[in-house]
Amino acid sequence: MSYPEYKDCVDACIICANLCNYCAHECLQEYDVNTMTKCIQLNMECAEVCYTAAKLMSMKSEKVSAFCRLCATFCTACGNECGKHEMKHCQECAEACRKCAEECDKM
């Protein structure tokens, strides 16, 4: 695959990572931050995996398909957790995670 074929997935990964970082930051500002620890942890993990997936796709790594499957797993877990919370930042993150998981599954 060439880079243009990866573009949608790379873009989805970068958007997801950025929204995960934002969500983690916002969760840390919540009144009862202790109830948000799982969400924050998954946000941080998902962001790292998404950034790495985008880098590997940009480098045309031979392992990109396997890594994208892993990325989809992280995105699904993060999206499911964020989807449980009513805050706007969690809902936006959940949507970005779902989109990223879909794009990674196509790889």
How sure is the predictor about 3, in pLDDT bands with cuts at 50, 70 and 90? low
pLDDT at 107: 85
pTM, 2 dp:
0.93
Structural domain boundaries of the chain? 3-25+36-106
Determine the Cα–Cα distance for residues 15 and 75; give it in Å rounded to an integer. Answer: 12
CATH class, domain 3-25+36-106, is mainly alpha
Nearest to 72 by CA among 32, 16, 33, 28: 16
**Tokens read off for 60:** 């045309």
Determine the Cα–Cα distance for residues 36 and 99; give it in Å rounded to an integer. Answer: 22
pLDDT digits (tens, 9 = 90+) for 32-69: 999 999 999 999 999 999 999 999 999 989 999 999 99
SS3 93: helix
